[in-house]
Amino acid sequence: MRKLKMFFMDHWGKMSIVLATIVLIISFVVLLMRLDSYGRNTMLAYIPMYILMGAIQAIVFVGAYMFFFSGGFSKLKKNKVNSSKVNVKFSDVIGFENAKKEALEVVDIIKDSSRVKKIGGKLVKGILLMGPPGCGKTLLAKAIATEAKMPFISIAGSEFVEVFVGVGASRVRKLFKQARKLAYTEGSCIVFIDEIDVIGRGRTFSYMGGGEETNSTQNQLLVEMDGLESAGQNIIVIAATNANENVLDKALLRPGRFDRKIQITLPTLEEREDIFKYYLKKVKAGTDIDVRKLASYTKFKSPAEIENIVKEAALISTRNKKNFVDMDDLSLAMDRVNLGLETQLTMTKREKEMTAYHEAGHAVALYLLHPTDEIFKASLKSRGGALGLVYHTPREELHTQSKEELIADIIVALGGYAAEKIKYGTTSTGVSSDFHKAMAIANAMVWNFGMGTRGLVGDFTAIPKDSMSSKLKEELNTETMEIMNTCLNKVNECLTNDWAIVEDMAQEMLKKEELTYNEVEKLFEKHGKNKVITTNEYIGIKDSSVKEESENKAEIQKTGNIKEEQKKEETEKEEQKTEELKNEDQQQEEPKQEEQKNEEPKREETKEEETKTQE
């Protein structure tokens, strides 16, 4: 009954026009029946001209009416999407398990709304999905609509923005009017606004009126979500944004509008493994594919990027006329996605050889001295403007970097320069990007992170340049160069000691142009070298504060040892004294015992004499 009522409400204009047309036709036929033959023929002759003139006038009038009075520039045509047609379940959403738990809780609240109202709670009015692009925010919104079995209206934030004033606010009103109708007939409705930061940014005010159009659009959105007329409506707004939460207006983020904020992060190792398995099922994949290794090589990749890698691998396999996708295809796909398309450059023999030694220097320094990263591929193929590259990834997902890791990054960046210098006694312009990276890291260590060698702690970039003394600047710059020089000395020492490995790797790269991780591992095993991870020994850089602490500890240990020795000497002296006293006592007791022995026969003689006298 509600649907029929809404049909009449939506189409009353069309039905009234049809009814009026029928009435006019009937009345015209009746009029013709009353006329004589001459009048009837004359009227029939003029009818086509009247119809043509009336049609032209009607088209002009209706067109103007539809454009200006029934929408015009603010016309918004958004049809509902049934949840059955969306057909995306939570099982199809792979990864971000924490976000799915939040979404499932929202679905349960929607399904059991009567129970929530009995307790005195309120339904969720808005859900804000935040996260990097390609992580599945739209997919999660579709899954919520499917699981909750609610009609779904989708719109982008840019569709509210036009040149003409008032268009954005008008489109917001029409969107929510349509959503209210669907909520009235279907029981509830979901409105999904993608890229809400376009209209949801913090409002700006100026005396010239700048920004008023965006402000009016956002104000209308605020009223529709939680205004006087929004009470009792079962409309849930789901919005998605790639921007930071601080970019959005505070009034939009308050409870009552967006009650839930779901943070969608990049997938973890296990989640990336599941994503690879999901997309590899959609193509013909070989049995040699190591999904775990692929997941470890794609750290900090979004699900969209992983899907793109699998699709690209399928295209490469088809181009090479293979029957299935193998590990080599996926490796080439990752190179294309991460590093760009391979470009064919004509290089001289010396230039190519110099590039090989340059990349070999990077690879050897990385393998032997970096505590967290491992080599994925060393290549002489030109990609993205580089003549060669050593692509490396961390073994674990690290979200912060220690001082040791930053030092190792500088050492690896200087490895190419050092290898060229050792081999040829000169260097090329290919070291410019390496120097830029190394200097940037060293400068940030000293100026931003307090990781210098002289104990200067703080973020010195927060101090205005005018307020900083030239002496302090000079000292900070000196620390930066000390780190650079120490790292260069360390990488020179490493490559000089293991130059045979650099030679072998450079020659292998000249033969094959690319070396994978397994090939690099075999090369180091051939020379009896294993990746030994240390955190302090290889760096060669210590803070002055650390030195003082170590010196203090050494002094404390020394003083402690001295005290222990003194105690030992005192105990030995006491033991000697006790032994001397014992000896003296023994010497004194010996003559007493002799005297007692001599006195005993005398006592016996005296006793005998006494007995004789008594007799």
CATH class of 269-339: mainly alpha
**What is residue 419's predicted lDDT score, i.e. its pLDDT?**
94
Residue 52 burial (10 A CB sphere; 0-12, 13-18, 19+): exposed
**What is residue 538's predicted lDDT score, i.e. its pLDDT?**
41
Q: Which two tokens stand for residue 43?
A: 């009227």
Q: Is 359 among the catalytic positions?
A: yes
- pLDDT higher than threshold 50 for residue 544: no
**What is residue 187's predicted lDDT score, i.e. its pLDDT?**
76
**What is residue 482's predicted lDDT score, i.e. its pLDDT?**
93
Compute the distance between CA of residue 255 and CA of residue 465 in angstroms, rounded to an integer. Answer: 43
Q: Establish how many alpha carbons lie within 13 A of residue 349's alpha carbon, considering only the half-sphere containing its beta carbon.
A: 0
Compute the distance between CA of residue 72 and CA of residue 164 in angstroms, rounded to an integer. Answer: 11
pLDDT tens readout for residues 248-283: 888 888 888 888 888 888 888 888 899 999 899 989
Q: Computed over its alpha carbons, how large is the radius of gyration of the chain?
A: 44
Number of residues that this document lists for the chain? 615
Domain residues of the chain, as ranges?
Answer: 2-74, 83-263, 269-339, 342-542, 546-615
Compute the distance between CA of residue 421 and CA of residue 361 in angstroms, rounded to an integer. Answer: 10
pLDDT tens readout for residues 479-493: 999 999 999 999 999
Question: Among 29, 59, 58, which Cα is nearest to 44's?
Answer: 29
CA distances from 467 to 458, 463, 464, 475 (A): 15, 7, 5, 15
Mean pLDDT of 194-214: 72
Q: Establish how many alpha carbons lie within 13 A of residue 279's alpha carbon, considering only the half-sphere containing its beta carbon.
A: 25
Q: Are 423 and 357 spatial neighbours (Cβ–Cβ below 8 Å)? A: yes
Marked catalytic residue, from 147, 195, 312, 359: 359
Q: Which two tokens stand for residue 614?
A: 């008594």
- DSSP H helices, 188-290, are 197-200, 212-226, 250-253, 269-280
**Domain topology for 342-542:** Methane Monooxygenase Hydroxylase; Chain G, domain 1 (1.20.58)
Mean pLDDT of 127-152: 85
Using 50, 70 and 90 to split pLDDT, how confident is the model at 547? very low
Q: CA-CA-CA-CA torsion for 340, 342, 344, 348, nearest 10 degrees?
A: 80
* Run of H or E including 174: helix 167-186
pLDDT tens readout for residues 54-109: 888 888 877 776 665 555 545 555 555 555 566 788 888 887 788 888 888 888 87
CATH class of 83-263: alpha beta
Compute the distance between CA of residue 319 and CA of residue 313 in angstroms, rounded to an integer. Answer: 10
**What is residue 615's predicted lDDT score, i.e. its pLDDT?**
47
Q: Are 420 and 428 spatial neighbours (Cβ–Cβ below 8 Å)? A: yes
